[in-house]
């Protein structure tokens, strides 16, 4: 008999999938990935040697928290399953617990590793996995046990004590790595508590609202000029004298202008009179045509 007859393929009867819920989860997961990348870019501040403002970081972090909460709530969505017979009990079951991933067609090794394997092994996305690997590597470089590198690598060479005797150092184990990680976490928590306590003590000792508060005096009703601010009697008198001086200068300019006009008119009249007196033959000589006209008329 053939191997196909001995091991028949299982007959899978796919049930209708909650496509709408799965598409919603996919959209929410994409939003979370974008929010993580945006928060990381904000913290890096465009590779600039400066710290971004705290409200910007806090707002993006709150958005990420709300999106994660919505995603977790959607994963806990349940549906009511009734019994096969009338009057039987009803149970609540998660709609995602009985979903199995199985390709309907054959897949190559590359497609299986890039598409199906991350879903089956519950791995993170490639960007998150890369960042996690780099973070662990940088942390291991500063640890005495060297993290997982110290556990998996060969033991260091045994140094001599000066008398020809060798002392083989102990190779770190996973318990040693976990113990050092716990010490690092506890030291970090102690520094955070000390910093928070120092800020609290400074806040209790120095009330910052009183230090930054500025007392604004209300202006007096009679001595307030919106153009010059607060002004006393001297300022008001000076302003009045300035206005009076400007008005007097204007009147002097008007008087000077009128006197100049009168002088010009007098000069013009004088020139006309002089012109008449200097040419008497034009109007009084008997040899002129005008005199002849007067005689003929007589």
Which CATH number fits the domain that encloses residue 28? 1.20.58.1710
The boundaries of the domain holding residue 195 are 143-153+170-213
Residue 283: inside a domain: no
Q: Is residue 40 part of a domain?
A: yes
pTM over 0.75: no
Confidence (pLDDT) at 293: 44
Task: Say yes or no: 148 and 134 in one domain.
Answer: no
In the chain, the number of structural domains is 3
Compute the residue count for the chain. 298
**Same domain assignment for residues 128 and 79:** no
Give yes or no: residues 63 and 91 share one domain.
yes
- The pLDDT score that the predictor gives to residue 136 is 81
Please tell me the distance from the alpha carbon of residue 210 to that of residue 214, in angstroms, as a whole number. 8
Residues 93, 34: one domain? yes
Evaluate whether residue 275 is within a structural domain: no
Rounded CA-CA distance 123/129 in Å is: 8
- The residues near 20 (Cβ < 8 Å, ≥ 6 apart) are none
Residues of the chain with pLDDT under 70: 1-15, 46-47, 79-90, 118-125, 151-152, 154-169, 208-298
Same domain, 56 and 84: yes
pLDDT, residue 62, reads 92
Three-class SS state of 225:
strand
| H or E segment and range at residue 254 | helix 233-278
Structure tokens at 298: 């007589």
- Residue 179 inside a domain? The answer is yes
Residues 46 and 87 in one domain: yes
Residue 280 is classified by DSSP as T
Q: How far apart are CA 85 and CA 81, in angstroms?
A: 12
Q: Judge whether 72 lies within some domain.
A: yes
- How far is the C-alpha of 285 from the C-alpha of 298, rounded, in Å? 16
Asked if 180 and 144 count as a contact pair (C-beta separation under 8 A), the reply is: yes
- Do residues 181 and 200 share a domain? yes
Give yes or no: residues 29 and 82 share one domain: yes
Q: Are 131 and 57 members of one domain?
A: no
In-domain check, residue 206: yes
> For residue 62, is it within any domain?
yes
- Tell whether 70 and 36 lie within a shared domain: yes
In a domain, 120, yes or no: yes
Asked whether residue 134 falls in the same domain as residue 203, the answer is no
Are residues 74 and 26 located together in one domain of the fold? yes
């Amino acid at each position: 008999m053939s191997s196909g007859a001995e091991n028949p393929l299982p007959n899978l009867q796919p049930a209708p999938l909650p496509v709408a819920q799965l598409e919603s989860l996919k959209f929410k997961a994409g939003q979370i990935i974008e929010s993580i990348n945006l928060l990381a870019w904000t913290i890096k501040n465009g590779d600039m040697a400066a710290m971004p403002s705290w409200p910007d970081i806090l707002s993006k972090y709150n958005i990420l928290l709300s999106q994660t909460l919505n995603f977790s709530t959607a994963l806990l969505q349940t549906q009511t399953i009734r019994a096969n017979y009338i009057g039987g009990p009803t149970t609540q079951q998660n709609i995602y617990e009985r979903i199995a991933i199985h390709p309907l067609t054959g897949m190559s090794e590359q497609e299986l590793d890039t598409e199906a394997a991350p879903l089956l092994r519950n791995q993170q996305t490639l960007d998150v996995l890369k960042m996690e690997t780099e973070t662990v590597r940088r942390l291991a470089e500063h640890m005495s046990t060297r993290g997982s590198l110290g556990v998996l690598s060969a033991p260091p060479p045994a140094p001599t004590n000066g008398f020809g005797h060798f002392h083989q150092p102990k190779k770190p184990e996973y318990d040693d790595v976990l113990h050092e990680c716990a010490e690092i976490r506890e030291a970090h928590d102690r520094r955070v508590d000390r910093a928070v306590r120092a800020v609290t003590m400074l806040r209790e000792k120095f009330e910052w609202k009183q230090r930054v508060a500025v007392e604004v005096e209300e202006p007096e009703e009679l001595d307030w000029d919106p153009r010059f601010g607060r002004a006393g009697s001297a300022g008001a008198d000076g302003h009045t004298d300035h206005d009076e001086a400007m008005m007097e200068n204007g009147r002097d300019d008007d008087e000077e202008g009128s006197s100049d006009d009168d002088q010009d008119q007098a000069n013009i009249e004088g020139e006309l009179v002089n012109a008449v007196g200097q040419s008497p033959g034009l109007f009084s000589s008997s040899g002129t045509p005008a005199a002849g006209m007067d005689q003929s008329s007589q």
